[in-house]
Structure 1
Amino acid sequence: MEPIRILVVEDDQDINRLLCTILNDAGYLSQSAFSGSEAMLWAEKEGFDLVLLDLMLPGLTGEEFIARVRQHGTMPIIVLSAKAGVEDRVKVLRLGADDFIPKPFDNQEVLARVEAQLRRVRKFSAPAEKKQRFVCGDLCLDREEFTVTAAGNPVTLTAREFEILALLMEYPKRVFTREQIYQHVWGEDYFGDDNTVNVHISNLRSKLGKASKQEYIKTVWGIGFKMADL
């Protein structure tokens, strides 16, 4: 099993060194960056499992780093910052940060938050091999037979449409962003082309609607899509 790699972005050398020591002692591999620009170079060059990020950085600010990473990546980002006001926290979370830890921080809390984010990633990125058949109301999907029925009527889907529906049905309570759907189904980095996912969702809805009057896929405005409560 490959070691988990964490990028530590902090311009204060003492704090950066402390965070790296905490992570290394816990069995992680850490890489230091002392500016937002350096961090971006590392993020584009290497694959990291998680980022610990300060906001007040030379070069790119922490907020600018988050915005750039979220254009094409989903690795967890935990912000550690003295800018701990409610507005600051809300802003970075809306930009795409996954968690926020105010400074001064507790060493054990940092590790606990890191572990929590890594658990979340493992939960939703693990290959779905156990379950092959999904049922939501009168909608049924069988992976092995590559079949879908709605209200007992067969529905013919393309491979992409089938995988989108399988993803949504496997986690019917979860809201998936367009980025997550694209990366899961296409297996490629997402470059902000909402139209690709939207067109497939529209076609999928149309085909399901012809087989049944039931609405199966719900749009969660500003976020993405999920299965309707059936």
Structure 2
Amino acid sequence: MKKLKVLLVDDDWKLRNLLRIYLSKEGFDTAQASDGSEAMMKIQSQPFDLVILDVMMPNMDGWEVCKSIRQTQSVPILMLTALGETKEKVQGLEIGADDYLTKPFDPEELIARVHALIRRASSVSSKQTANSVLNFPALTIDRDGHRVFVHDKPVELTHKEFDLFAALAKNSGRVLSREQLIEQIWGYDFEGDARVVDIHIKNIREKLKRSGLAYNPIQTTWGVGYKFEAEVRKP
């Protein structure tokens, strides 16, 4: 059976080596990068099943690397940082990170989060079907292709924005609470602020409006959550 491959990105050699040892014991194959530029070179040259990414690095920091990865790939990203502020975590999740771990951390917690992210990614992949394109008035959502179109022109959504938008569209007409959306998109073990959902919804709405969509497909049900509301276009 082919080993799952993890890219470790941190300018601290000791931490990278420690992570390599822990992950190797769990059966993972690992590659390492000491800065953002080296990480991007490796990501562009070979596939990875997970990226563990430090935030504070010289030259190209973790924020920049995460944004660059999300332009082309949906590989799970676990960010590491010495910053424990909620706003820092929201920033990381907003630009496309899948999970966040504050240093210093327990190795067992890191391994548990790695397994959870890979299970989640595998589950999403296994649930995809051939008929994955959702059509609405002036709006198309291609779930397999991770693309959104308004009037047949692409709308640039981040990885998490797309997952959130697609989850709402798939449950069109049904109100989903913030907690339900967090569990679906970030996982039951997410420990961040539920306001991250509101931030993503605001960004999605603004991007759809700028793209020329004449209606707002994401409706707020006050005190409950959000629902997708649009009349499905007949094929």
Whether 2:134 is the aligned partner of 1:165: answer yes
Q: CA offsets per residue over residues 18-38 of structure 1, 9 Å max, x none?
A: 011111110001111100110
Corresponding residue of 2:11:
11
Structure 1 unpaired stretches of 5+: 130-142, 144-161, 169-177, 202-215
SS at match of 1:126: helix
Between the aligned partners of 2:35 and 2:4, the Cα distance in structure 1 is 22
Map 1:1-230 onto structure 2 (within 5 A). 1-126=1-126, 128=128, 163-165=132-134, 181-182=141-142, 184-185=144-145, 197-199=149-151, 222-223=203-204, 228=229
Matched pairs, number = 164
Q: Which has the higher contact order (CA 8 A, sep 6+)?
A: 2
AA of the residue aligned to 1:222: N
Between the aligned partners of 2:202 and 2:34, the Cα distance in structure 1 is 37
Q: How far is the alpha carbon of 1:59 from its aligned partner?
A: 2.6
| Distance change (3 Å), C-alpha of 1:125 and 1:104 | same
Between the aligned partners of 1:101 and 1:34, the Cα distance in structure 2 is 19
Structure 2 unpaired stretches of 5+: 154-171, 175-200, 206-216, 218-226
Whichever of the two has the greater Rg, that structure is 1
Between the aligned partners of 1:82 and 1:64, the Cα distance in structure 2 is 17
AA of the residue aligned to 1:125: S
Q: Name the TM-score, length of structure 1 as normaliser.
A: 0.62
| Distance change (3 Å), C-alpha of 1:58 and 1:228 | same
Corresponding residue of 1:136:
none
